[in-house]
């Protein structure tokens, strides 16, 4: 049979291609064929997160580390009170597109506004979580506690700030939300310092269950607000009535 | 290549911004004319998939405009757009190219070509905040065509352009219209007159005219003004 095929090939010329351009267009083979994938897009977004967000996170980490280095074991509240400032970068990055009038343009691209916001939140969250892990691992020995309670003292004020700031980003527009986020971070920090300074009870072992409850509630709040923010960006592009 | 709009509506509380529009568009330049508040921007935002209609459907080659594949084929220049403050012109284009899923090396080449095409190659490395209004508009046009769009939506694209820039822009759009659907929304009649293959006149959310320049049968500006004179006469008797 293969001999017959070969003889047929030799005996007849293949017809010239017709409507080649149309077919290639249909396959969508173009200069952009070598398109970036999701990981590439995520990686590319690292470079577009504002430098001030990185600087702020780094400063917060340095101050927390100095607090660990030069404070005594009772001054856990210095570390605990610094983490709300880490939360600023999450809230401000999530609203950056709208603040600078880029939201409409970004909403119409392949990797749309929802993807941009999600990517930024993901990157900043990972960076902040790493920072808090470093603080916890270095701090817990210095302050004479175990790792788990230290992690709670570090992450709970952070989560409370993120929750409140994401809520304000949804409700306020433009520069208003930016200033509100700054106010919230400082307010949560100052509240921790004030409560501990006045009552000296916040970090006692008997209150650990309260910290656990606060962390869980704050985490749920963050997830709900985060989902609503993404839904806000998607609402203008995804229709569910079809 | 076909864009199909079927009984499209958009209502805000008591105001109907777009009123049951139906349309089929193939490749070519479509000029969308209308006064402020006619519903042009609302219509364009719905076509781009960034505004949810109250009713009706929009599909492009059978795919819904909410899909990622549609955005992959879309180029959009909004009426007003911002920019991140520290971006240079080139950085802005590279950023938009990343969002449009264009691979980095290809994006660099494309950006260089486009910056030259829109006459911004000399200002590519300057911050956008130093650009004039016309330069920003040209940058906006460049980002809209980065991904060789099959459907190009331009909302008041010639605002801020001087006459020479406007002529250059018209030539670019006429060229793009050969292989893509270009919808050009404006209230500058001469822009439409020179390049549009099809003219849509919009008033109070509805199309009051759909045809070619030949179908108009008179000076387009006069024809356009006629529709608003009728409106003003009606208002006198109210």
Tell me which residue in B53, B99, B103 faces A110 most closely, judged by beta carbons: B99
Q: Is the CB of A110 less than 8 angstroms away from the CB of B50?
A: no
Q: Which residue of A has its CA nearest to B107?
A: A32
Q: Residue B83: its chain A contacts at CB < 8 A? A: 100-102
Amino acid A200: pLDDT = 78
Q: Each residue's pLDDT tens digit in chain B (238 positions)?
A: 899 999 999 988 888 888 899 999 999 999 998 888 888 999 999 999 888 889 899 999 888 888 888 989 999 999 888 888 789 999 999 999 988 988 888 889 999 999 998 889 999 999 999 998 888 988 999 999 999 999 999 998 887 788 888 888 888 888 888 889 999 998 788 888 888 889 999 888 899 889 888 887 778 788 877 776 555 444 444 3
Per-residue CA distances from A121 to A17, A29, A126, A162, A184 (Å): 50, 33, 8, 11, 18
Amino acid A19: pLDDT = 65
**Residue B222 CA to its chain's centroid (Å):** 23
**What is the nearest CA distance from B28 to chain A, expressed in angstroms?**
17
B3-73+149-236 maps to which CATH number? Answer: 3.40.50.300
Half-sphere exposure of A49 (CA within 13 A, CB side): 27
Amino acid B140: pLDDT = 92
Please check whether residue B74 is in contact with residue B153, taking contact to mean a CB–CB distance below 8 angstroms: yes
Q: Residue A44: its chain B contacts at CB < 8 A? A: 98, 104
For residues A141 and B203, give the distance between their C-alpha atoms in angstroms, rounded to a whole number. Answer: 72
Q: Is the dihedral of CA A155, A161, A162, A164 positive or negative?
A: positive
Q: Is the CB of B98 less than 8 angstroms away from the CB of A44?
A: yes
Tell me which residue in A32, A104, A112 faces B147 most closely, judged by beta carbons: A32
- Looking at the complex, does the CB of residue B106 fall below 8 Å from at least one CB of chain A? yes
- Looking at the complex, does the CB of residue A112 fall below 8 Å from at least one CB of chain B? yes
**Residue A235 CA to its chain's centroid (Å):** 20
- Looking at the complex, does the CB of residue A220 fall below 8 Å from at least one CB of chain B? no
**What is the nearest CA distance from A183 to chain B, expressed in angstroms?**
23
Mutation target among B98, B147, B153 for the A interface, most CBs of A within 10 A: B98
Q: Based on the number of CB atoms within 10 Å of its own CB, is A242 exposed (0-12), middle (13-18) or buried (19 or more)?
A: exposed
Amino acid A38: pLDDT = 67
- Looking at the complex, does the CB of residue A36 fall below 8 Å from at least one CB of chain B? yes
In chain B, positions 4-43, which contact chain A (CB-CB < 8 Å)? none
Amino acid B51: pLDDT = 86
Q: Is the CB of B82 less than 8 angstroms away from the CB of A108?
A: no
For residues B118 and B95, give the distance between their C-alpha atoms in angstroms, rounded to a whole number. Answer: 18
- Looking at the complex, does the CB of residue A48 fall below 8 Å from at least one CB of chain B? yes
Nearest to B151 by CA among B10, B33, B28: B28
Amino acid B168: pLDDT = 82
**What is the nearest CA distance from B165 to chain A, expressed in angstroms?**
23
Amino acid B91: pLDDT = 92
Q: Residue B45: its chain A contacts at CB < 8 A? A: 104
Cβ-based neighbours of A140, under 8 Å, separated by 6 or more: A146, A147, A149, A150, A151
Q: Residue A30: its chain B contacts at CB < 8 A? A: 148
Span(s) in chain B for CATH 3.40.50.300: 3-73+149-236
Amino acid B223: pLDDT = 80
3-state secondary structure string across chain B: CCEEEEEEEEEECCEEEEEEEEEEECCEEEEEECCCCCCHHHHHHHHHCCCCCCEEEEEECCEECCCHHHHHCEEEECCCCCCCCCCEHHHHHHHHHHHCCCCHHHHHHHHHHHHHHCCCHHHCCCEHHHCCHHHHHHHHHHHHCCCCCCEEEEECCCCCCCHHHHHHHHHHHHHHCCCCEEEEEECCHHHHHHHCCEEEEEECCEEEEEECHHHHCCCHHHHHHHHHHHHHHHHHCC
| Per-position b or e across A86-115, b if 16+ CB within 10 A of its CB | bbbbbbbbbbbbbbbebbbbbbbbbbbbbb
Q: Which residue of A has its CA nearest to B99?
A: A111
Strand order in B28-33's β-sheet? B74-77, B151-155, B181-186, B28-33, B198-203, B206-211
**What is the nearest CA distance from A142 to chain B, expressed in angstroms?**
41
DSSP letter for A100, please: T
pLDDT averaged per 10 residues in sequence order, chain A, 242 residues: 68 66 53 55 76 79 76 70 82 78 87 78 84 81 76 90 88 80 90 84 84 93 86 52 28
DSSP letter for A29, please: -
Q: Backbone dihedral region of B113: left (phi > 0), alpha (psi from -120 to 50 degrees) or beta?
A: alpha
- Looking at the complex, does the CB of residue B112 fall below 8 Å from at least one CB of chain A? no
- Looking at the complex, does the CB of residue A44 fall below 8 Å from at least one CB of chain B? yes
Q: Which residues pair with B11 in a beta bridge?
A: B16
Q: Is the CB of B98 less than 8 angstroms away from the CB of A237?
A: no
- Looking at the complex, does the CB of residue A70 fall below 8 Å from at least one CB of chain B? no
Q: Is the CB of B106 less than 8 angstroms away from the CB of A116?
A: no
Nearest to B49 by CA among B71, B27, B31: B71
The two three-digit tokens of residue A214, written as one number:
């606060």
Q: Is the CB of A100 less than 8 angstroms away from the CB of B95?
A: no
Tell me which residue in A35, A107, A238 faces B101 most closely, judged by beta carbons: A35
Tell me which residue in B57, B76, B96 faces A242 most closely, judged by beta carbons: B57
């Amino acid at each position: 049979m293969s001999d017959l095929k070969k003889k047929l090939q030799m005996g007849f010329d293949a017809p010239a291609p017709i409507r080649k351009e149309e077919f290639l267009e249909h396959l969508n083979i173009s200069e952009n064929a070598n398109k970036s994938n999701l990981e590439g897009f995520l990686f590319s977004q690292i470079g577009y997160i504002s430098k001030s967000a990185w600087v702020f996170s780094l400063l917060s980490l340095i101050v927390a580390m100095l607090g660990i280095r030069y404070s005594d074991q009772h001054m856990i509240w210095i570390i605990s009170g610094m983490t709300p400032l880490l939360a600023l970068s999450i809230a401000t990055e999530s609203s950056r597109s709208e603040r600078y009038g880029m939201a409409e343009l970004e909403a119409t691209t392949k990797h749309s506004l929802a993807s941009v916001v999600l990517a930024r939140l993901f990157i900043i969250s990972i960076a902040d979580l790493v920072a808090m892990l470093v603080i916890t691992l270095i701090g817990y020995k210095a302050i004479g506690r175990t790792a788990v309670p230290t992690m709670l003292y570090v992450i709970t004020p952070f989560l409370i700030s993120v929750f409140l700031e994401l809520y304000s980003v949804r409700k306020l527009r433009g520069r208003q939300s930016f200033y509100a986020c700054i106010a919230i971070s400082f307010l949560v920090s100052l509240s921790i310092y004030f409560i501990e300074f006045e009552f000296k009870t916040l970090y006692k072992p008997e209150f650990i269950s309260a910290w656990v409850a606060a962390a869980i509630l704050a985490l749920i709040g963050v997830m709900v607000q985060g989902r609503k923010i993404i839904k806000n960006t998607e609402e203008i592009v995804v229709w569910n009535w079809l | 290549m076909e864009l199909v709009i079927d009984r499209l509506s958009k209502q805000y509380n008591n105001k109907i911004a777009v009123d049951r529009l139906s349309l089929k568009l193939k490749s070519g330049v479509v000029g969308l004319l209308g006064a402020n508040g006619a519903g042009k921007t609302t219509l364009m935002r719905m076509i781009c998939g960034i505004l949810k209609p109250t009713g009706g459907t929009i599909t492009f080659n059978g795919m819904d405009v909410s899909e990622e594949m549609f955005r992959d084929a879309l180029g959009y220049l909004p009426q007003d757009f911002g920019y991140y403050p520290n971006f240079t012109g080139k950085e802005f284009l590279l950023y938009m190219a990343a969002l449009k899923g264009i691979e980095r090396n290809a994006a660099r080449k494309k950006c260089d070509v486009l910056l030259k095409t829109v006459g911004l190659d000399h200002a590519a490395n300057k911050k956008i905040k130093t650009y004039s209004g016309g330069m920003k508009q040209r940058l906006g046009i460049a980002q809209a065509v980065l991904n060789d769009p099959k459907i190009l939506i331009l909302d008041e694209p010639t605002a801020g352009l001087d006459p020479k820039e406007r002529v250059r822009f018209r030539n670019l759009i006429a060229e793009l219209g050969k292989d893509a659907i270009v919808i050009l929304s404006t209230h500058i009649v001469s822009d439409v007159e020179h390049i549009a293959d099809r003219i849509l006149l919009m008033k109070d959310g509805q199309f009051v005219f759909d045809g070619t320049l030949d179908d108009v049968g008179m000076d387009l500006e006069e024809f356009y003004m006629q529709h608003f004179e009728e409106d003003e006469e009606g208002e006198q008797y109210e």
